[in-house]
Amino acid sequence: MKKLFNAFSFTREDLQANKVDFLTPSQEKKVAGYRKSESCGTFLAILAVVSTGIFFGAYFYFSKDITNSPGFQKALPIYIGTFSVFVLVFAFFLILGKVRSRGINTGKISVAEGEIITWRKDYKHGTVFFLKAGNTKFQLHSLEQFEVMQSYSFCKIYYVKNPPVHIILSVEITG
């Protein structure tokens, strides 16, 4: 059990708190770190889209030679349409990301329970380790976590939803 606690960085107190839907202060700090990282990424993505819009708008506004040409006048609706579609697709995925990761904002604890299935996927630049408990798939952060979980057959995993990489809080072996 000590290897399990070390691999996933949790304590018996963390596990007991998670069983009653409570985050310990160290777990709140961990979730807050993910939340901060997500917010920073969202801000940078929005900044990139807005900056691109401002750049092209300013370019077209200040380029009198280009904007007065008949070819540009015909192409302008295509430019605007393409940029509008890009912004709509961006907004859709931004909203989808916010909806999918609402667990990280609320700190709500979810539980996955069932048979443990582990597998690894080798890529050109490294290996990714996976775990499935019941119907929930997790990406593991280390070979140590992968190896520890191979020793068990059934478990309960207390986690905060953050697809595709949920935040594992604690693990209880049930079989």
Would residue 111 count as lying in a domain?
Answer: no
State how far the Cα of 131 lies from the Cα of 61, in Å rounded to an integer. Answer: 53
The CA-to-CA distance between both ends of the chain, in Å, stands at 13
Residue 79 in any domain: the answer is yes
Residue 99 lies inside a defined structural domain of this protein: yes
Question: What pLDDT is recorded for position 67?
Answer: 62
Beta strand pairing call for 126-133 and 167-173:
unpaired
What domain count does the chain have? 1
Q: Given the structure tokens 């700190």, which residue do they identify?
A: 107
Cβ neighbors of 28 (< 8 A, separation 6 or more) are 107
* Burial class of 114 by CB neighbour count within 10 A (0 to 12, 13 to 18, 19+): middle
- Residue 95: its pLDDT value, please? 87
- State which residues form the domain around 54: 30-103
pLDDT at 103: 82
Taking the chain (175 residues) in consecutive chunks of 10 residues, what is each chunk's mean pLDDT? 92 96 95 88 89 85 72 81 90 85 86 96 95 95 95 94 90 91
- Interatomic CA distance for residues 161 and 65, integer angstroms: 53
Report pTM.
0.77
Classify residue 89: in a domain, yes or no: yes
- Residues found in the chain: 175
Name the amino acid, one letter, at 136. T
Confirm whether 132 is domain-assigned: no
